[in-house]
Amino acid sequence: MQTKRIMLSGYYGFNNAGDEAILLSILQSIRSLDEHVEFIVLSGNPAKTAEQYGVHAISRTDVMEIWRCLKNVDLFISGGGSLLQDKTGTFTIPYYLGVVQLAQWAKVPVAIYAQGIGPVYRSLFQKWIKAVFKKAQYISVRDPSSKKLLESWKLPSEKIDQVIDPVFVLQSDESERVTELLSKESITLKQKPIIFAIRHWSEGKDDILQIAKVCDQLVQDGEEVLLLPMHYPDDAEAACDIMANMTQPVHLLQREYTPQQLIDIVSSGKLMVGMRLHALIFAAARHVPCIGISYDPKIDAFMHLLEDQSTSVSGQISADLLYAKIKDDLTHYQQRQEQTASIAKKLLEQAKKPAREALKLIQQGSV
């Protein structure tokens, strides 16, 4: 059988556990359907990406090498994450749309793979996204708000698949038990911990103090708290700031972990309190109840899928309200866990669809 080649673009190679999990889940999903596929991944750290995932990786900024490789690929995937938004800066959208356009100029079919769209404030970017997406062979988005946004720009609804973040399909390799992973950091858990995945955010200067207060209260109640950084070193710094404002002891993960290891660690938790989207997704996929703290619409969109809403908003976190929400979830724990499990099973089927549709573009001779 002839080998197929797919180029993948995303926020890969930057030590962000969520985006690395997206990459791995896309690779796993496609490989499970067709083992005769080779991948070329655009990465911020090509050597590390190639070694970790068994792919050919090239620099995401080497335009000439990207163009050369596009001459020999069968499909281009713009893969997952919040790639198309201008809240964090003005260069994100031009980069990710730019590489998609390179693929289109090279006459390579394009699949937009379970992306989160927005917010997009600049009308120029809105028009640009519409123009590029109109030429894409397949479009899928990971939440209803992303689909509504594209529809508001007059992209046909029937052209847009609403799915779920690809990380829902991520499989653990179970190479090490959680107890073994934690023991390497001298962490011994006596019970399932409440896990916090917190990041710094410019609008939330008082957030750390409020979260530290909640963690203190929980430990005083007899709970164990585990601080889980999802993006190094930034989230580790946020976790250290939380600990510095606490009077009670908590556990902190200080090593970098693979996405599968993180999923295993999260699955050992009692409850996830997260600002990081993929920490919430890891938890929900393993039927661990979630409490979202919103700094971005993507958090609210995901909590809506779980038939819940974000408990707090960055910059407006109330320790009393967050603590009350956690205690309520613990009081009704079995109900919350069953609800999470029921919804997660439905979302899993949605997460599998983009891989099947992407491969169809090759199999149907769209090249």
Decide if pLDDT at 176 tops 50: yes
Token reading at 219: 């430990």
CATH number of 4-162: 3.40.50.2000
**Which of 168-172, 202-206, 269-273, 356-360 shows the lowest mean pLDDT across its residues?**
202-206
| More confidently predicted of 233 and 327 | 327
Fold match between domain 4-162 and domain 178-346: yes
- Does position 280 have pLDDT exceeding 70, yes or no? yes
The residue extents of the domains of the chain are 4-162, 178-346
| pLDDT value of residue 173 | 67
CB count in 10 Å sphere of residue 309: 11
Domain range 178-346, its CATH number among 2.40.160.50, 3.40.710.10, 3.30.2320.80, 3.40.50.2000: 3.40.50.2000
- Average pLDDT on 332-360 reads 93
Distance of CA 352 to the CA centre of its chain: 15
User: In whole angstroms, what is the distance from residue 70 CA to residue 6 CA?
Assistant: 9
| Residue 172, pLDDT score | 75
pLDDT tens digit sequence for 26-70: 999 999 999 999 999 999 999 999 999 999 999 999 999 999 999
Q: Which residues of 149-184 are buried (b: 16+ CB within 10 A; e: fewer)?
A: bbeebebeeeebbbbbbbbbbbeeeeeeebeebbee
The pTM for the full model equals: 0.87
Does residue 276 or residue 87 have the better pLDDT? 276
